[in-house]
Structure formats: C-alpha cells, structure tokens
Amino acid sequence: MGQLAASIAHEVNQPLAAAVTNAHAALRWLGAQPPDLEEGRQALGYIIKDGHRASEVIDRIRALIKKAPARDDPLDINEIVLEVIALARSEVLSNGVSLQTQLASALPLVHGDRIQLQQVILNLVVNAIEATSSTSEGARELLISTGRDASDVVLVAVRDSGPGLDPEGLGRLFDAFYTTKAGGLGMGLAICRSIIEAHGGRIWATANVPRGAVFQFTLPVG
C-alpha cells in the first residue's frame, strides 16, 4: 500500500504543480503593461487541462478502491462477453479490428457483479484494440473465448495480434500507474486485478502465438 500511496501522490501532485505554475504565468501575462490576453488565455486553458487530469486520476482510484463486488448475482459469463462486445462495437469498427469469439456452451454460472465484470472485459478489449492499433504490421485480430477449466472455474481469454508484452514491464503490468502509453494512466489492469481477486478469481498475461498477448482470468463456479 505504501507504493500505491506514493504513486497516487505523485500522479495527483504533477497536474497540481503544473496548474500552480500556469496560474503564476497567467498572473504575469495579465499583469504585464499592456496585458497579454492571448498568453493569459492559453495559460488558463492549461490549468483546465491540469485540473481534468487530476480529477481523472482520482476517479480511477475510486474505481480501484471500490473493490468489493457490489452485487452477488448468478451470471452467465457468455452474456457478459456479448454485452461488452456491443459496448465496444464502434471502437472495434473504427480501428479496423476483426473480432472473433469462441464461447463455450453450457457453462456453469458464476457469482458476482455484472457491471464490474463487464468493466474487466472491456478494459482488456480496449487494451487489445490499442495494442493491435499500435503497429501497422499484419492483420488486427482479437479473439475472446470462454471455457471451463478442469477444476471448477470458468476461464475467459482475450487474445490480440498486437506487438505483444514488453519483457521489461512483465512484472508490473497489473501495478497501478504502470503504463507505456503517452496518454495512459496505467489503471486499467490494476482495476481488473482488484475486481477479479475480489470475485475469488485470478488474472494473468502470457504471450500469444504467433504474436500478440493473451490476458486470461478465472472465476470460481457456483
């Protein structure tokens, strides 16, 4: 928790410090003789952006902390996958991604919070789309599959044909604020892990064959 607190302090402090700097700049531009309104306006625009950034960090942390499943309903995991696909449809289409599914029939029900589990799958799908879109090489393919493990767990896998996992970040993928994306917060997978663990499951990532990444999670049955 110490590491997380330090990360949060850092992530929130950065936009706050930037806002203070920009506020000083705005005061300078407006106090000049004659005042430079254009520069002043620009500095205020930066402050708005900084403010949004800070509140986005806080929103994501709230989502992370709210880890206890709010509900404990019997759920059909295939239904949840299909709901997420409907939600992600326009993102899939606009990125030219071909999305396939392999949904096992007659899966036992799992128990939990539908919205939270949708959020997990959606985060994985968005990451997969971003991964396939980050290279111009090869077809952009995404496969979502469900199945049943030998033990009594249901397994969900999201596979992509993107550049695959960076070996240097492997141990940190699920850490809060670990990101390799310019506009990323690095909260998506941390939220996934906290939700899945609160549901009694496990989540992990491996290399896909012949390329790309596979993110899989399990949920206990019954």
Ligand X SMILES: Nc1ncnc2c1ncn2[C@@H]1O[C@H](COP(=O)(O)OP(=O)(O)OP(=O)(O)O)[C@@H](O)[C@H]1O
Binding region for ligand X (CB under 6 A): 123, 127-128, 131, 160, 162, 165-166, 169, 173, 178-181, 184-190, 213
- Min CB(100)–ligand X separation in Å: 16
Q: What is the DSSP-derived secondary structure letter of residue 168?
A: G
- Decide if residue 186 touches Mg ion (CB under 5 A): no
Query: Closer to ligand X at the Cβ: 50 or 160?
Result: 160
- Decide if residue 188 touches Mg ion (CB under 5 A): yes
Q: Nearest residue to Mg ion, using CB?
A: 188
- Of the candidates 184, 196, 172, 198, which has an alpha carbon nearest to the alpha carbon of residue 57? 184
- Min CB(166)–ligand X separation in Å: 6
Query: Closer to ligand X at the Cβ: 31 or 169?
Result: 169
Amino acid at 200: G
- Decide if residue 7 touches Mg ion (CB under 5 A): no
Q: x/- binding map, residues 95-134, to Mg ion, per CB under 5 A?
A: --------------------------------x-------
Binding span for Mg ion by CB under 5 A among 10-18, 96-104, 182-190, 206-214: 182-190
- Of the candidates 163, 156, 160, which has an alpha carbon nearest to the alpha carbon of residue 220? 156
Q: With the C-alpha atoms ordered 114, 108, 97, 90, is the resulting torsion angle positive or negative?
A: negative
Residues 6+ apart with CB under 8 A from 105: none
Number of residues near Mg ion (by CB under 5 A): 2
- Min CB(71)–ligand X separation in Å: 24
* C-alpha distance from residue 170 to each of 85, 162, 176, 179, 180 (Å): 27, 16, 13, 11, 12
Helix (H, G, I), strand (E, B) or coil at 165: coil
At residue 149's C-alpha, the angle toward residues 145 and 151, to 5°, is 160
Query: Closer to ligand X at the Cβ: 26 or 120?
Result: 120
Q: Which residues bind to Mg ion, rule: CB under 5 A?
A: 127, 188
